[in-house]
Amino acid sequence: MHSPSSTSRRDFLAAAGSTVLAAAASAATGPLTTYGPAKPMRIGVISSSIGGKPQKTNGHTFHFAHGFHPTMDLKMIEKHLSKGPVDLFKSHFRNPKEDFAKLPFDNTVISCYYDADPASAQMFADCFPGVQVARTLDELVKNCDAVWVGDASGRGEDHFELCAPGLAKGLPTFCDKPIGGTVIETRRILEFARKHKAPIMSSSLYRHQWGTEEALRMKASGDFGSLQYVVASQGGGFSYQSWFIYGQHPVWMCMTLCGAGVKAVSMYAREATCHALITYDDRMPAEVWYGRPDVTPTYCSTSAHFAKKTHEWTPAIDGNYWFGHHYQIFRMAHTFLKMAETRVEPVPHQEILEVTAIIAAAAKSVNERSRLVELAEVM
């Protein structure tokens, strides 16, 4: 049931290395600037830790938040990051031919960056000229209009402490998955946000894939009949420990497509693979297949089975995984900015809470002979 071969997107990225440079090796040769309004929205970016240890080159800040800042110093990117991410910045993230007519966003700037480890924070500031290292969370909050908390591989145990100062001031906040790690902590964050009338957003990148957006359009149209079944698959090796971090992704996919209202979960694990059945009282179920061996080249794959048609996709767009990865990062950041501008939350709180509960219920199930565990037992 347990496997040491669990693979994260960070491992996937490192393995890719030089293969991502084909699109435009020379597209980014220096700082890139987009001039926005006189008073752009100031984004405060926070890097979470893993068991108290810093994520020095946190991909969920370096990659996911880069579009909020108009300038980038490529020499510093090359100094501080490994080859795979450097190639991504050149060929996709800061390639003007792949800017989706939006990147970098023309009305934002990263004002401050906070990491409990100041040296790690300075690395980020080196890469994005003008970003100030915040010595404390309060200092960051005083100098920003919205907050982005990025967590690549942590379990969310520090998320409340990182989010609370901004939420207390009513600042729109993105809190990365796993938002609270446990149901208790997730509920605590959501209730704190509601108390202070602070818009909050949390989700996996899977919610923002091109194929996911198309599946939601198909569902909304009604032209393809009712949604009968969803299978959200993920590559890499399953382990009990990795379920709490990377299991979030396929569970988020099921939640995005099927919605809140989950009744119970059953999970079976064997070797480096698990299958989790997510059931409802009033609609058809969904399945998570984590450790699917044939999807490793594209990290994940999802199929939405409608009564009249099956829609299957990966993050890739026209067969290009890295372009598709670039797109889903852009869409998540853009969704966050819309929330910051309008103060309208794009993800229902109940969905956020139930994702955490599904993770907990599935873990309970696999330890109890794969019995069907009702969400009420862990809520």
| Cα 377 to Cα 361: distance, rounded to the nearest angstrom | 8
Residue 163 forms part of a structural domain: yes
Residue 343 forms part of a structural domain: no
What integer is the mean pLDDT of 208-222? 99
List CB contacts of 2: < 8 A, sequence separation 6 or more.
Answer: 239, 240, 241
What integer is the mean pLDDT of 342-349? 98
* For residue 355, pLDDT beyond 70: yes
Q: Are residues 311 and 244 in the same domain?
A: yes
Q: Are residues 196 and 79 in the same domain?
A: yes
One-letter amino acid for residue 120 of the chain: S
Domain that holds residue 184: 14-203
Which of 185, 203, 221 is the last residue in one of the domains? Answer: 203
Q: Are residues 25 and 173 in the same domain?
A: yes
Contact call for residues 366 and 360 (beta carbons, < 8 A): no
* pLDDT tens readout for residues 303-333: 999 999 999 999 999 999 999 999 999 999 9
Residue 5 forms part of a structural domain: no
Residue 320 forms part of a structural domain: yes
Cα distances (angstroms) measured from residue 39 to each of 31, 32, 66, 140, 166: 21, 19, 19, 17, 20
Residue 248 forms part of a structural domain: yes
Q: Are residues 157 and 214 in the same domain?
A: no
Among all chains, which residue has been given the structure tokens 């069907």?
372
* pLDDT tens readout for residues 260-305: 999 999 999 999 999 999 999 999 999 999 999 999 899 999 999 9
Q: Are residues 192 and 58 in the same domain?
A: yes
**Two tokens at 329?**
């990062």
Residue 34 pLDDT: 40
| Cα 78 to Cα 348: distance, rounded to the nearest angstrom | 39
Q: Are residues 130 and 216 in the same domain?
A: no
Residue 83 forms part of a structural domain: yes
Residue 39 pLDDT: 87
Q: Are residues 140 and 241 in the same domain?
A: no
Assign residue 274 the CATH number of its domain.
Answer: 3.30.360.10
Residue 357 forms part of a structural domain: yes
Which of 203, 232, 251 is the last residue in one of the domains? Answer: 203
| Cα 193 to Cα 276: distance, rounded to the nearest angstrom | 31
Q: Are residues 184 and 211 in the same domain?
A: no
Assign residue 25 the CATH number of its domain.
Answer: 3.40.50.720
Q: Are residues 28 and 116 in the same domain?
A: yes
* pLDDT tens readout for residues 42-91: 999 999 999 999 999 999 999 999 999 999 999 999 999 999 999 999 99
Residue 253 forms part of a structural domain: yes
| Cα 26 to Cα 41: distance, rounded to the nearest angstrom | 30
Q: Are residues 211 and 283 in the same domain?
A: yes
**Two tokens at 117?**
């480890």
Q: In the chain, pLDDT over 70 holds for what percent of residues?
A: 90
Residue 261 pLDDT: 99
Which of 180, 203, 226 is the last residue in one of the domains? Answer: 203
Residue 11 pLDDT: 61
- Find residue 289's DSSP bridge partners: 233, 275
Q: Are residues 61 and 152 in the same domain?
A: yes
* pLDDT tens readout for residues 92-141: 999 999 999 999 999 999 999 999 999 999 999 999 999 999 999 999 99
Q: Are residues 195 and 282 in the same domain?
A: no
Name the domain count of the chain: 2
| Cα 295 to Cα 211: distance, rounded to the nearest angstrom | 15
